[in-house]
Structure 1
Amino acid sequence: MSWAPQSGLTGGQLMTGEGGFKATAGVWLRADLPLCPLASGRAGQQQQHHQHHVRGRGEVLREWEWEWVPECRAEPSRAAAMEFEELGIREECGVFGCVAAGEWPTELEVAQVITLGLVALQHRGQESAGIVTSNGASPPVYYSHKGMGLVSNAFPPEALRKLEYGNLGIGHTRYSTTGISELQNCQPFVVETLHGKIAVAHNGELVNAQKLRKQVMRHGVGLSTSSDSELIMQLLALTPPMEELDTPDWVARIKNLMTETPTSYSLLVMHQDVIYAVRDPYGNRPLCLGRLVPSSRLQGAGGETGSAETEGWVVSSESCGFQSIGARYYREVLPGEIVQISKHGVKTLSVVPRPEGDPPAFCIFEYVYFARPDSIFEGQMVYSVRQRCGRQLAIEAPADADVVSTVPESATPAALGYAQQAGLPYVEVLCKNRYVGRTFIQPNTRLRQLGVAKKFGALTDNFAGKRVVLVDDSIVRGNTISPIIRLLREAGAKEVHIRVASPPIRFPCYMGINIPTKEELIANRPEFENIAGYIGATSVVYLSVEGLVAAVQEGVASREEKDAVIGGKPSRKGGHCTACLTGKYPVELEW
């Protein structure tokens, strides 16, 4: 067996005595290595397993397993690979939970609420989805369903029917970076412990996962997946407080986990009749709470948060889906906070502090790219932050131009902000075909070579003969923006000035974001010295790190001042992780 690596995400050619097969997908992370890629072979072929040692940074990091699989099983991973190749960066996961309020059973359809919540978080993960519900009895009965693909495909009506008896539940939607795209890695995970079953859903990536894996294995516990989430679950099951051997103390277990691994995780743990919502001490990944209100109250002014006005409580990676399920935004889970959610309400059980002197480290790219624009972080709407980024970009990087436009759709708020600040008209120059998927077009086809031509049309009347400022939220590899510029020039644009509403990405992320290797990032390549010429633009200017941080923290500071004036509970002072931009990671990385 030999390994001949190739460039790109597709992995390479693994040659075997049977003639070999080509890996259709994989994840390149750290040390330029693929983690657990799926390889496709002849449909119906019996699975055959091969071990291959992976080396990086001078030592064996791990083994991975190649297997022959039917084409249909490899498809989700191929789709993810093609999206990764086009977009360059992506979020890993989204979590969502719901608890019905009042005496159980209630009329609240918990599984339906969670499903709709996951649909709202679909942008955070499109490979697989799962839901686990519980009747909350003692002992509880758990109902579970997981599926590959989009939420709408993963949960047909018959799947929801088997979940409908739950009074509480948690759900997860997933992209894979630390595991193969298979059902076994789909969350939530469920494990039987000495003190009953627990279910766990996790967004993030443990910075010291390798060390913790060895720790778990030394206790004689095997791990059946490559997911950090299974590791978290086993750590919770393995580490009761020494003085408490006969009864569960799940808060102590969670606190112990939080001292073992500093970041990155937003975590939902379901046990019997409660859900624990947990955010790491640095607050690297988002997590927020919402209150389900009766439909008769949705048009009203609100009311108290007591059970009489509350049908249930929800917890989510983002607040964007609350309106669609009849929920009102309540508050964020604070960095280091452990919140208990039960039929009686929400209660803070503990707040685990960071090391003295360490600021919070909320991922700044949640604002730039990952989050839906209607989500709320740190008391401010993502859309508003993106607009401020655009205004700041116009101050830092003005252009002699006639119109301002955007690469649909996440950069639209920034483009509007740029146009407002620059005093230029905002027009649409691109029309997006919303029905073009990625899964059916192979990388070696002619359409694939045409790049964005299959996704965009040019609105020629809006810009022909004009100088265009085109605002994008980020440029990762440079392979997506270049065909767009070519399309605009061929359609009559006189000049195309690219303005990027975030700084250049120069470093990989090890905390839950799938970013290409350092060598693949355009900001680290020789072409970056003349990036305008490389991508075919008239000029290219990025927003500065200082400008991005100022745009984000302006809203945080405004919220803190408002809290102080009205005498309310002050929000925790903000701090943001800019490691992918500056290389300054919030914690020391352990491999």
Structure 2
Amino acid sequence: MCGIVGVFGHSPVSQVIYDSLSMLQHRGQDAAGIVTNYQGRFYLEKGEGLITDVFNKSNMARLLGNVGVGHVRYPTAGCSSVAEAQPFYVNSPYGVVFAHNGNLTNVAEIVGGLFETDMRHLNTRSDSEVMLNVFAHALSRRGAVKPNEFDVFAAVEEVHRRCKGGYAVITMIAGVGMVAFRDLHGIRPLVFGTRDTGKFKDMPSATEYMIASESVALQVGGFELHHDLEPGEVIFIDMEGEVHRHVSLLAHEKAPCLFEYVYLARPDSVLDGVSVYEARINMGTKLAAKIKREWAHVPIDVVVPIPSTSRIAAQEIATRLNLPYRDALVRNRYVGRTFIMPGQALRKQSIRRKLNPIPNAFRGKNVMLVDDSIVRGTTIKEIIAMVREQGAAKVYVCSAAPPVRFPNVYGIDMPARSELIATGKDVQQLAKEIGADELIFQDLDDLKAAITEAAPGLTHFDTSVFDGIYVTGDITEEYLNLLERQRNDTAKQTEDVASHISRNLAAHI
């Protein structure tokens, strides 16, 4: 899960990119980077941490140019290190900068070809670098002194043929322009927006463009949403500012990731025509109806959301059930999202620093906690224990999403089945495991309907984390077992230790 931004402007863009990345910080807190282009040269700043850690007045001043790309990273693969911070860069052909959100599912088969046939070098274990080299090699094979839109479209078409999985990409080619494209199923989000410079004082009227992971990144800079890229769509903006579009003949019906609407995206975003805010209201409406049907025997005194993603659904549930709603778990906004923190120990340690209960809201009450989803179970276990410590009589839990029982392979950090608390358990077993008196989940059909009702034309989704059906059709049991060995928390902790030792050694050389 990452956030990407690309801006093609007529004035310096570094501040615009920074502001847009600030609206996408929820998508990645491990590293950040910005690359700009000025007079054919790239200017790069990137590092580990939040954008406020990476960028300052001094290095922002060095980011010259009217065209640029930005990235915030959470590592779903590889270690947490500055070497894997994006955007990535290769100097051949032309000079290419690359920012990627998602995950490739056939990296192993691509890598061999890159070494043996394409004769390209990889410097990290990031699938983003693999994809960059596939694109760069495809572009070089065209042999153009200066590529045109047909060269770019052909290069992206080769990426689609060779790379499987979920991906959204923004890339810059020195002296050529900016390119953005989306995977053949539209799993990972990507939006395109425009703004007229004539709205600014002392500037002539001209059109500027932004491409980003979510629509909120457009809004902060005054860009208007034009459209979401279609599955397999590529947009090429040449150096004269002309926009060229193409949709691959290999494209499938759009099937965006359902988890974007449940948790990943901001509520003020619009993705594939769906207002995330409206979709979460619908989730609350449908879950309230299920609670009425199945929990008539459950005496509920108060509805409390687990902030902040579940707040919208919880408010709707309280309204529909005519129950008091209380924001009784106060969030410390200076602690990051625990879901995307690498390592189970770090997630658990951060929960009580992140949330603090208001005792009077819980003492002697039958409390219904509303969560957006239950993935590893670490957060909900700690919160239930915390609520009981405040004197709650009963603790009921409802989830706005179905049980997460299967790994995600398209760019969300839930790859290991052994770390998903719902694996191999029914609802009663899960309730006992997390310490809840009662537990209820949203039905998958209701969750899909909540999205479709917000955008009637959107009917297909990637629902793999809930039902194990992978839309790309290439995921085998062998692949999932390999993924679990490579990407569980134990493996990541080993990588992080190795990365830490490497950085310390480098500092003393």
With structure 1 as the length reference, what TM-score do the two structures score?
A: 0.73
Report if aligned partners of 2:428, 2:439 keep a CA contact under 8 Å in 1.
no
* Deviation per residue, 1:94-121 (Å, 9 max, x gap): 11011114xxxxxx33011111111111
| 2:434 alignment partner, one of 514, 535, 546 | 535
Match of 1:129 in 2: 32
The answer on 1:117 being equivalent to 2:9 is no
The 5-angstrom pairing of residues 218-367 of structure 1 reads 218-219=116-117, 220-240=119-139, 248=147, 249-271=151-173, 272-294=175-197, 296=199, 309-310=205-206, 312-342=208-238, 347-354=243-250, 358-367=252-261
Query: Matched residues in 2 for 1:204 and 1:444: separation?
Result: 22
Q: Note if 1:586 corresponds to 2:471.
A: yes
Query: Amino acid of the residue matched to residue 259 of structure 2?
Result: F
3-state SS in 1 of match to 2:473: coil
Cα pair 1:451 1:480 within 8 Å, conserved: no
SS at match of 2:453: helix
Cα shift at 1:514: 0.9
Are 2:111 and 1:213 aligned? yes
- Cα distance, 1:295–1:434 mapped onto 2, change above 3 Å: farther
Q: For the Cα contact (< 8 Å) 2:403–2:422, is it kept in 1?
A: yes
- Pair 1:433 & 2:327 matched: no
- Structure with a larger share of its residues in helix: 2
Q: Bigger radius of gyration, 1 or 2? A: 1
Equivalent residue in structure 2 for 1:513, among 398, 412, 416 = 412
From the superposition, tell whether residues 442 and 308 of structure 1 become closer, same or farther in structure 2 (CA, over 3 Å): closer
Following superposition, the deviation at residue 527 of structure 1 comes to 7.8
SS in 2 for 1:469: strand
CA distance in 1, matches of 2:356, 2:30: 28
- Tell me the C-alpha RMSD between the 2 structures: 2.8
Deviations 1:492-540, CA, capped at 9 Å, x for gaps: 3222210100001111111111104112211114585422222221200
Name the CA distance, whole Å, in 1 between partners of 2:452 and 2:348.
41
> SS at the partner of 1:480?
helix
Give 2:97's aligned residue. 199
Matched with 1:153 is: 53
Distance 1:343 1:236, change over 3 A: closer
Counterpart position of 2:359: 460
> SS of 2:71's equivalent?
strand
After TM superposition, give the deviation of residue 183 of structure 1 in Å: 1.7
* 1:96 has 2:10 as partner: no
SS of the aligned residue for 2:374 comes to coil
Q: Are the equivalent residues in 2 in contact too, given 1:293–1:326 (CA < 8 A)? A: no
Deviation of residue 417 (structure 1)?
Answer: 1.7
Pair 416,342 (structure 1): closer, same or farther in 2 beyond 3 Å: farther
- Find out whether 1:575 has 2:460 as its counterpart: yes
Q: How far is 1:291 from its partner?
A: 2.1
Secondary structure (helix, strand or coil) at the match of 1:514 reads: coil
- Name the residue aligned to 1:64: none
Distance 2:122 2:135 in 1: 14
Cα deviation, residue 273, structure 1: 4.5
Cα deviations across residues 523-580 of structure 1 (Å, max 9, x unaligned)?
11458542222222120001011111110111110xx4xxxxxxxxxxxx54210011
SS in 2 for 1:224: coil
Deviations 1:216-274 (A, max 9, x none): 11122221111111111211222248675666322211111112224311011211252
Match of 1:524 in 2: 423
TM-superposed CA distance for 1:409, in Å, is: 0.7
Count of residues paired in the alignment: 463
How far residue 394 of structure 1 moved from its aligned partner, in angstroms, is 0.9
Q: Deviations over 1:273-313 (max 9, x none)?
A: 52111011100100011223458579xxxxxxxx9654521
- Tell me the distance in 1 between the aligned counterparts of 2:473 and 2:186: 16
Q: Which runs of 5+ in 1 are unaligned?
A: 1-91, 102-107, 299-306, 561-572
Instruction: Indicate how the Cα distance of structure 1 residues 522 and 461 shifts in structure 2: closer, same or farther if over 3 A, else same.
Output: same
Tell me how far apart the structure 1 counterparts of residues 233 and 66 of structure 2 sit (CA, whole Å).
24
Work out which of the residue numbers 27, 35, 43 in structure 2 matches 1:143.
43
Which structure 2 residue ranges, 5 or more long, are not aligned? Answer: 480-509
Letter in 2 for 1:367: Y
Quote the offset at 1:325 in angstroms: 2.0
Residue 395 of structure 2: SS of its match in structure 1? strand
Question: 3-state SS of the aligned residue for 1:488?
Answer: helix
Whether the 8 Å contact between 2:166 and 2:411 is mirrored in structure 1 is yes
Do structure 1's residue 179 and structure 2's residue 83 form an aligned pair? no
Alpha-carbon deviation of 1:378? 1.8
Shift of 1:396: 1.4
Structure 1's 425 and 231: CA in aligned 2 closer, same or farther, altered over 3 A? same
